[in-house]
Amino acid sequence: MTIKTKITELFGIEHPIIQGGMHFVGYAEMAAAVSNAGGLGIITALTQRTPDDLAREIARCREMTDKPFGVNLTFLPVVEAPDYAGYVRAIVEGGVKIVETAGNNPQKWLPGLHEAGIKVIHKCTSVRHALKAESIGCDAISVDGFECGGHPGEDDVPNFILLPRAAEELKIPFVASGGMADGRSLVAALALGADGMNMGTRFIATKEAPVHENVKQAILAASELDTRLVMRPLRNTERVLKNAAVERVIAKEKELGGNISFADIAPEVAGVYPKIMREGQMDAGAWSCGMVAGLVHDIPSVQELVTRIVAEAESLIASRLAAYVRP
């Protein structure tokens, strides 16, 4: 028995499991491990300092896997934007056929990507944004519920509501993101109308994840109660794992209220990922982590994790759920 969905068909992958783009995690090692396990691995473009660096990372990944992999390209609402044209060129010239877009509207870049035969999956935290992405020509959607690590949007709708709402409205395939960790997650996502699932935090706690061991152990030790929401007053809400830096941010937000600016919390949130992900300085700043940390109980290889998820999902569908249906 295998689980085949519109997402496995669209991306040419074995299992409907995607590794989301993650800052200073989505390197070639991570993407290749997930793709080799039958899922869809994703390189994070903006972790690479220049388009040339991204081109080299794509080539490196190509040496590690012959399976499909993608690139995440996040369009940031900043004054001095990265060289997006250069990053897109590196993706196209590197022969990548799947791009995960996030952040601002990717409409400007879709014609060029589609002309190169690239499928685009856009991250959305609301049904209205997902419908907009569908209307401009995105091929699939990653629907991110309130549980997710990183930026859950400002609507606070969890996946038990968001996914079936997306299923009611969307015509293109979509995957569930936020709270996804195991076979139960995958079956639940499929039951609620999704065509697969996207995992971030769960993939960081694997042997191949190219991050400091302290990061993996922090996720392993965390419960579902250990994340916090920061930057809500700035309407740039981010779900992060609690630590000393996060407590400082929350204290500043309480103290300054509506007068807070990004500059007030910049030391805790800007440019901190290398210290955390590479050096393991766990109190150096705020870093994205989902509530799903409470479901992470080990640090397996990516292959072990994906195989376990699929086996558990198949067992749930064929045995446990089937047993409830009686003549």
Task: Please give the model's pTM, rounded to 2 decimal places.
Answer: 0.97
For range 186-207, the mean pLDDT = 98
* CB-CB neighbours of 94 under 10 Å: 18
Residues 6+ away with beta carbon under 8 Å from 3: 15, 16, 186, 190, 310, 313, 314, 317
Residue-range domain boundaries for the chain: 6-209+298-324, 214-278
What whole-number distance in Å separates Cα of residue 231 and Cα of residue 132?
25
Predicted confidence at residue 76, as pLDDT, reads 87
Beta bridge partners of 55: none
CB 100, CB 21: distance < 8 Å: yes
pLDDT for 79 beyond 80: no
- Cβ–Cβ under 8 Å, residues 108 and 135: no
**Mean pLDDT value of segment 72-86:** 91
* Parallel/antiparallel/unpaired status of strands 98-103 and 238-241: unpaired
In whole numbers, what is the pLDDT of the chain averaged over residues? Answer: 97
Q: Looking at the predicted structure, is the pLDDT value of residue 252 above 90?
A: yes
Is the dihedral angle over the CA atoms 89, 95, 97, 99 positive or is it negative?
negative
Maximum Cα interatomic distance, the chain, rounded to a whole number of Å:
64
pLDDT digit string, tens, across residues 13-32? 999 999 999 999 999 999 99
**Structure confidence by residue, pLDDT tens digits, 164-174:** 999 999 999 99
Q: Which amino acid is at 234?
A: L
Q: Is the pLDDT of residue 242 over 90?
A: yes
Residue 239 banded pLDDT, cuts 50, 70, 90: very high
pLDDT score at 77: 79
- With beta carbons less than 8 A apart as the criterion, state whether 325 and 56 touch: no
CA distance 152 to 145: 6
Helices (H), the chain: 6-11, 28-36, 51-64, 84-93, 110-115, 127-136, 159-169, 183-191, 201-204, 213-221, 244-256, 262-269, 273, 302-315
C-alpha span between 289 and 274 (Å, rounded): 16
Side chain identity, residue 242: K
Q: Is residue 121 classed as helix, strand or coil in its secondary structure?
A: strand
Q: Which of 44-48, 66-70, 79-83, 273-277 has the lowest mean pLDDT?
A: 79-83
Per-residue pLDDT at 78 exceeds 90: no
Count of CB atoms situated within 10 Å of the CB of 108: 13
What is the topology classification, in CATH, of domain 6-209+298-324? TIM Barrel (3.20.20)
**What pLDDT shows up at residue 80?**
86
Token pair of 20 as six digits: 């989301």
Give the three-state DSSP class for 104: coil
pLDDT digits 0-9 by tens, 143-166: 999 999 999 999 999 999 999 999
Does the structure show a pLDDT above 80 at 1? no
* Rg for the chain, CA atoms, rounded: 19
Q: Which residues contact 104 (CB under 8 A, 6 or more apart)?
A: 75, 76, 77
289 band by pLDDT with thresholds 50, 70 and 90: very high
In degrees and rounded to multiples of 5, residue 130 shows phi and psi of -65, -40
